[in-house]
Amino acid sequence: MKQLLPVLALLAVLFGGSAAAATPLPGDSVYQLSLQLTDQDGHRQSLASRHGRPQLITMFYTSCQMVCPMIIDSLRLTRNALDPAARAKLDLLAVSFDPVKDDVATLKTYADKRKLDPRIWTLARAEPAQVRQLSGVLGLQYRQLPDGEFNHSSELILLDTDGRIVARTTVIGRLDPAFVKVVGETIVGR
Amino acid sequence: MRVRLALAWFGLMLALPAAAAEYAALPGGTFASVLPADGKAAAAQVAPFRLRTELVTNGEYLAFVRKHPQWRRDKVAGILADARYLTQWAGADELGEQALPRQPVTRVSWFAAQAYCESEGARLPSWYEWEFAAAADASRRDARADPAWRENILGWYSRPSSTALPAVGGAANVYGVRDMNGLVWEWVDDFNALMVASDSRQQGDPDLLKFCGAGAISLQEKENYAVLMRIAMLSALKAADTTNNLGFRCAKSN
Q: What is the ipTM of this complex?
A: 0.84
Q: Name the more confident of B160 and B226.
A: B226
- Tell me the one-letter amino acid at B130: W
Question: Higher pLDDT residue, B36 or A124?
Answer: A124
Q: What CATH number should be reported for the domain holding residue B133? A: 3.90.1580
Q: Do B80 and A33 touch (CB under 8 A)?
A: yes
Work out the average pLDDT over B26-50: 89
B46 contact A CB<8A: no
Out of A29, A67, A145, the one facing B79 most closely (by C-beta) is A29
End-to-end CA distance of chain A: 49
Domain that holds residue B82: 23-159+171-253
Q: Which residues on adjacent β-strands are paired with residue A152?
A: A142
What is the band of B5 on the pLDDT scale with cuts at 50, 70, 90? low
**B43 in contact with chain A, both atoms CB, cutoff 8 A:** no
Residue of B nearest to A148 (CA): B213
- Considering only alpha carbons, which residue of chain B is nearest residue A129? B189
Flag whether B13 is in a domain. no
Residue of A nearest to B39 (CA): A145
How much is the pLDDT for A50? 96
Q: Where are the alpha helices (DSSP H) in B37-142?
A: 58-67, 110-119, 127-134
**CA distance linking residue A29 with residue A22, whole number of Å:** 14
Please tell me the predicted confidence (pLDDT) of residue B182: 85
Q: Are B69 and B78 in contact (CB under 8 A)?
A: no
Is B12 inside any structural domain?
no
pLDDT reported for residue A3: 52
Residues of A in contact with B237 (CB under 8 A): none
Strands A121-125 and A91-96 come out as parallel
- List % helix, strand, coil for chain B (3-state, nearest 5): 30, 10, 60
Q: Tell me the C-alpha distance between B249 and B212, whole Å.
A: 32
Q: Using CA atoms, how far apart are residues B68 and B85, in angstroms rounded to an integer?
A: 15
B37 chain-A contacts, CB cut-off 8 A: 145-146
Measured between CB atoms, which of A136, A154, A173 is closest to B211? A154
Flag whether pLDDT at B239 surpasses 80: yes
Return the pLDDT at B174. 97
Q: Looking at the complex, report in whole angstroms how far the Cα of residue B170 sits from the nearest Cα belonging to chain A.
A: 31
B202 and chain A: CB distance < 8 Å anywhere?
yes
When pLDDT is cut at 50, 70 and 90, the band that residue B7 belongs to is: low
The upper half-sphere exposure of residue B107, i.e. CA atoms within 13 Å in the direction of its Cβ, equals 16
User: Are B238 and A132 a contacting pair at CB < 8 A?
Assistant: no
Give the one of B196, B203, B238 whose C-beta lies nearest to A151's C-beta. Answer: B196
Number of other CB atoms surrounding residue B99 within 10 Å:
23
Query: What distance in Å separates the CA atoms of residue B59 and residue A81, rounded to the nearest whole number?
Result: 54
Report the domain count for chain B.
Answer: 1
Alpha carbon B200 to its chain's center: 27
Is residue B186 assigned to a domain? yes
As a whole number, mean pLDDT of residues B28-44 equals: 86
Query: With a cut of 70, which residues of chain A have pLDDT below it?
Result: 1-23, 190
Q: Which of A65, A149, A172 sits opposite B209 (nearest CB)?
A: A172
pTM score of the predicted model: 0.85
With CB atoms and an 8 Å threshold, state whether B239 touches A136.
Answer: yes
The answer to whether the CB atoms of B208 and A154 lie below 8 A apart is no
Q: How far is A56 from chain B (nearest CA, A)?
A: 18
- B26-33, long-range: CB within 8 Å, 24+ apart, which pairs? B26/B50, B26/B51, B26/B129, B26/B132, B26/B133, B26/B175, B26/B177, B28/B129, B28/B132, B29/B132, B31/B128, B31/B131, B31/B132, B31/B135, B32/B220, B32/B221, B33/B127, B33/B128, B33/B131, B33/B220
Res B85: pLDDT: 98
Q: Note the pLDDT of residue A65.
A: 80
Residue with the larger pLDDT of the pair B201 and B69: B69
Interface probe, candidates A141, A154, A157, chain B, greatest B C-beta count within 10 A: A141
Residue B145 inside a domain? The answer is yes
First to last CA, chain B: 41
Name which of B136, B156, B152, B155 is nearest B144 in CA terms.
B136
User: Strand pairing of B185-186 and B246-247?
Assistant: parallel
Alpha helices in chain B (DSSP H): 2-15, 58-67, 110-119, 127-134, 147-157, 206-209, 225-235
Given a contact cutoff of 8 angstroms between Cβ atoms, the answer to whether A122 and A40 are in contact is: yes
- Indicate yes or no: CB of A153 within 8 angstroms of CB of B210: yes
Query: Tens digit of pLDDT for each residue in B48-101?
Result: 999 999 999 999 999 999 999 999 999 999 999 999 999 999 999 999 999 999
Query: For A52-66, A156-170, B6-20, B148-162, which range has the lowest pLDDT when averaged over its residues?
Result: B6-20
pLDDT confidence bin for B218, thresholds 50/70/90: low
Question: Is it the case that residue B221 has pLDDT exceeding 70?
Answer: no
- Inside any domain, residue B117: yes
Q: Name which of A145, A174, A179, A1 is nearest A64 in CA terms.
A: A145
Residue B35 included in any domain = yes
Predicted pLDDT at A183? 97
Q: Is residue B77 part of a domain?
A: yes
- Which of B211, B231, B235 is the best mutation test for A, with the most CBs of A within 10 A? B211
Which domains are present in chain A?
25-188 (3.40.30.10)
Residue B10 belongs to a domain:
no
